[in-house]
Amino acid sequence: QKEVEQDPGPLSVPEGAIVSLNCTYSNSAFQYFMWYRQYSRKGPELLMYTYSSGNKEDGRFTAQVDKSSKYISLFIRDSQPSDSATYLCALEKTSYDKVIFGPGTSLSVIP
Amino acid sequence: EAQVTQNPRYLITVTGKKLTVTCSQNMNHEYMSWYRQDPGLGLRQIYYSMNVEVTDKGDVPEGYKVSRKEKRNFPLILESPSPNQTSLYFCASSSGPVRDEKLFFGSGTQLSVL
């Protein structure tokens, strides 16, 4: 079983839709959770970071962590064509530990 | 402008021909790392460095070498490339523990080994 799993997509939604992106993980030792966005032919960039169960909001983006279910989500409200990218979840166990990336979900927002 | 610069962006080579991918950051970051990205497998760490002259293996170090002689540079060396090293490579840097300080990624190097 892979440590981190994501549905690869592609996911295609109309502009303005609410998007839900998800990751599951197998090791309860993961404590820190991040979402990276990667545009085509570019390196990933950090979108959000959280270390606790619950929700964290930043503009149109909400990160949700459920440690008991080993499940993390990223919600995008009022999706825009500029949100079209691959979204990678990333997890870390402790400080200075390596980050484990999920394989990414490809999202297309259609105008 | 704060950035991580990788060169070259695209590289086609043949099996066994030594190559180096350069990586430089202008943010005075202590932490630097190399990843490869393959479809369905995500980003996998090759090597990382916590500071000058300090390097350590990541998940997939076989067939790769790195060096950290200066803080800003972290080259990736393939002594004898093989076709299974065909991949998209990213260099990244950070000023501290990754969970507190975001990783800055370069634009990537697409390597094809024939």
A8 touching B (Cβ < 8 Å) = yes
Q: How far is A14 from chain B (nearest CA, A)?
A: 25
Q: What is the mean pLDDT of residues B33-62?
A: 92
Residue A4 main-chain phi, psi, to 5 deg: -135, 130
Report percent pLDDT > 70 for chain A: 96
Residues A31 and A38 sit within 8 Å (Cβ to Cβ): no
> Cα separation of A56 and A28, whole Å?
20
> Cα separation of B32 and A84, whole Å?
28
Lowest-confidence segment of B21-35, B75-89, B98-112 by average pLDDT: B98-112
DSSP, collapsed to helix, strand or coil, labels residue A2 as coil
Confidence of residue B22 (pLDDT cuts 50, 70, 90): very high
Q: Of chain A residues 57-86, which have a CB less than 8 A from chain B?
A: none
The predicted structure's pLDDT at residue B40: 81
The predicted structure's pLDDT at residue A16: 97
Residues A33 and A90 sit within 8 Å (Cβ to Cβ): yes
Tokens matching residue B18: 């030594």
The residue count of chain B comes to: 114
For the stretch A52-98, pLDDT in tens is 788 899 999 999 999 999 999 999 999 999 999 999 999 988 766 67
